[in-house]
Structure 1
Amino acid sequence: MIASRTLVAALIVAALAGCTSPSGPSSPGDPPADAKIDPWLGDDLEVDSAVITGDFMGVALSGFSCDVSQSFSANGDGDVRPTAGVTVTSAGSSISYTEETLISSAQGGDVPPTGAMPATFTVATTRGFWDIGDGGANTEWTPTTVLTLTGIPIPEDGCAAADMWWLDLSDVGTDTAEIIRAFSEDGLRNVAKECPDAWFTWVPPNLTCDEFDARF
């Protein structure tokens, strides 16, 4: 059902107002506090999609989740050392840090949020070891970090397209703030009329229906 563009935009802006990060000090991986969220959708937003950012031990973290109430993660550049990663699922949370070949990891009991998406989410591990696999004695390690969740508008049946677009933008080194802007202002492309027999309704804006389908 399509509502008027003005009304829908107003409703979405109100819904996303609680998803922008608060003012104050931010880590290198965080989007600017004044990042503009200008939703483009004329569809119901029934998933809690977000770009996830943060910083851990000097490593800028970023990630995307189509539904943060299910799971989400943020990672550093896997080709550059040191790197790090933070994951939150219904089974618990984890933080990892890799420096050359030495891998440290820790686990915690944090699970995805319920209800309204929070602007930030604290991951606090309770058990872990530093420098696993270095041949020496392991040291107890229980790190903590804070992730920022910036809500972006994704239609309920657009998760596959959104995930692909996120990967494409990330692979070419697109700045996190620009990724948030692209999702919020440009958005996915609706191909319901263009490709009426396709199994999908949305594709990344840079792909045709055939290109999107061929990558699955």
Structure 2
Amino acid sequence: MIASRTLVVALIVVALAGCTGPGGPAAPADDVKIDPWLSDDLELDAAVVTGDVMGVALSGFTCDVTQSFSANGDGDVRPTAGVTVTTTGSTISYTEESLTSTALGSEVPPTGGVPATMTITTTRGYWDIGDGGANTPWTPSTVLAFTEIPVPEEGCAAADMWYFDMEDVGTDPAEIVRAFTEDGLRNVSKECPDAWFIWAPPNLSCEEFDARF
């Protein structure tokens, strides 16, 4: 989607370059509306993250995959699981009833933007067997998949809230990607000129977003 938007911008630039007269470029008509996606830089490292650990489907969101990201199962349903990667290393966890098994790895976020996939491999961990004795060594691995989504500069707070609102009601990750890609955040700079933010989730008014932040 990012590539296609870049192509659109390029085509618009070419089209405008051709609209010149003796006095230079022609002024745009007063009723021309510019898609806010074309007038704002995008956070190119935002992505929806999916994966699987021990049969538990994982999903997550990051506004900057080069800094940190995580993907988790439904925390209200057991068993559940999670994967977290930060600049200090990686963690895979699995919780069955009240017993949580955890393993650590050395993977850190990629530096070259959003990858298609990333393998998380742990080297030290334990499997909680819950009998009070020594825990069994556990070194799981998993492959996370990343789908790049468009998030405008200064829109990370709104994107984060919108993602979790959709996740809370059980929205499928593919539908979340579609919503970010086709619907996008709402530019509220004219609607709420005095707000501290210029982007809000499309399901919330400026007042609702501000109160929940």
State the TM bucket, normalised to the shorter chain.
Answer: 0.7 to 0.9
Question: Is 1:79 the equivalent of 2:85?
Answer: no
Larger RCO, structure (CA 8 Å, separation 6 or more): 1
**Structure 1 pair 168–63 and aligned structure 2 pair: CA distance change class (3 A):** same
Using the alignment, how far apart are the partners of 2:176 and 2:184 within structure 1? Answer: 10
Aligned with 1:178: secondary structure?
helix
- 1:56 deviates by 1.0
What amino acid maps onto 2:167 in structure 1? S
Query: Deviations for 1:118-164, whole angstroms, at most 9, x for unmatched residues?
Result: 10011001100001654121111111000001000001200000000
Who wins on radius of gyration, i.e. which is larger? 2
Matched residue, 1:26: none
Q: Decide which of 170, 194, 197 is 2:194's aligned counterpart.
A: 197
Q: Decide which of 92, 96, 100 is 2:93's aligned counterpart.
A: 96
Checking the alignment, whether the CA contact within 8 Å between 2:65 and 2:113 is kept in structure 1 is no
- 1:40 deviates by 7.9
- 1:184 deviates by 0.4
Checking the alignment, whether the CA contact within 8 Å between 2:66 and 2:113 is kept in structure 1 is no
Matched residue, 1:207: 204
**Structure 1 pair 13–134 and aligned structure 2 pair: CA distance change class (3 A):** farther
Matched residue, 2:121: 124
Checking the alignment, whether the CA contact within 8 Å between 1:82 and 1:98 is kept in structure 2 is yes
Checking the alignment, whether the CA contact within 8 Å between 1:56 and 1:84 is kept in structure 2 is yes
Using the alignment, how far apart are the partners of 1:56 and 1:212 within structure 2? Answer: 33
Checking the alignment, whether the CA contact within 8 Å between 1:96 and 1:106 is kept in structure 2 is yes
Checking the alignment, whether the CA contact within 8 Å between 2:46 and 2:114 is kept in structure 1 is no
What amino acid maps onto 1:186 in structure 2? D
Matched residue, 1:23: none
Aligned with 1:62: secondary structure?
strand
* Alignment of structure 1 residues 4-15 onto 2, 5 Å: 9-11=5-7
Q: Could you tell me which runs of 5 or more consecutive residues in structure 1 were left unpaired when the two chains were aligned.
A: 1-6, 15-38
Q: Normalization by structure 2: what TM-score?
A: 0.82
Question: Is 1:112 the equivalent of 2:91?
Answer: no
Aligned with 2:154: secondary structure?
coil
Matched residue, 1:54: 51
Q: Normalization by structure 1: what TM-score?
A: 0.81
Matched residue, 2:145: 148
- 1:102 deviates by 1.3
* Alignment of structure 1 residues 56-71 onto 2, 5 Å: 56-71=53-68
Question: Is 1:41 the equivalent of 2:34?
Answer: no
- 1:117 deviates by 1.5
- 1:115 deviates by 1.1
What amino acid maps onto 1:164 in structure 2? M
Q: Could you tell me which runs of 5 or more consecutive residues in structure 2 were left unpaired when the two chains were aligned.
A: 11-34
Checking the alignment, whether the CA contact within 8 Å between 1:59 and 1:83 is kept in structure 2 is yes
Q: Decide which of 170, 176, 184 is 2:167's aligned counterpart.
A: 170
